[in-house]
Amino acid sequence: MTRLKALSPEEVTGKTKELFNAVQGKLGSVPNMMRTMGNSPAVLEGYLNFSGALSHGTLGAKTGELLALSISESNSCGYCLAAHTFIGENLAKIDKSVLQAARTGNASDSKTTVALQFAKTLVNKNGLVNDEDVNAVKNAGFSDGEIGEIVAHVALNILTNYFNNTANTEIDFPKVPSLELEINK
């Protein structure tokens, strides 16, 4: 059962209505996470602005989706795992096996694997990484700006993971089984 209410796009007014209309225009619907964030227009607007800014970064949409999956798996966020698996498959056109590997911090190329592992390290160390952690990303060929973007993707996904885990947001994407359940089959 959800702990925070998802608002109906037909019943909201003011800033929330304006934001829902923008999401509806872009996505064709207002996902439950955003409907729940709409309880605070500041939260929804902050999320949309941060997400929008990162979409123009140099890492690209594919890497962003892979990072989201790696981070969401680290934070056990079923909503985000479902959403980013759906987006990865259907919008970013990423192969299912690549999406699955990203959840464990692995990729088909070594550079992306380093980025995913760094994201997991940031989560596991609560951002308190050391010189060795940062040098590994630099040695893989990431610029300071790209490292900053990886940190920003971690921050954005921690926001959505924690928000959805707190709200117990109803998943409105095809559900994805947790890796723990798959490993213990």
Q: Record the tokens describing residue 79, joined without a space.
A: 């909503």
Q: Please, where in the chain does CATH 1.20.1290.10 lie? A: 60-175
pLDDT at 77 (0 to 100):
97
The answer to whether residue 184 scores a pLDDT higher than 50 is no
What is the mean predicted confidence (pLDDT) over 6-23? 97
Under CATH, which number does the domain 60-175 receive?
1.20.1290.10
- Per-residue pLDDT tens digits for 93-133: 999 999 999 999 999 999 999 999 999 999 999 999 999 99
pLDDT at 180 (0 to 100):
67
pLDDT at 185 (0 to 100):
43
Contact 92, 60 (CB under 8 A): no
* Spatial distance between the Cα atoms of 27 and 55, rounded to a whole number of angstroms: 15
pLDDT at 153 (0 to 100):
98
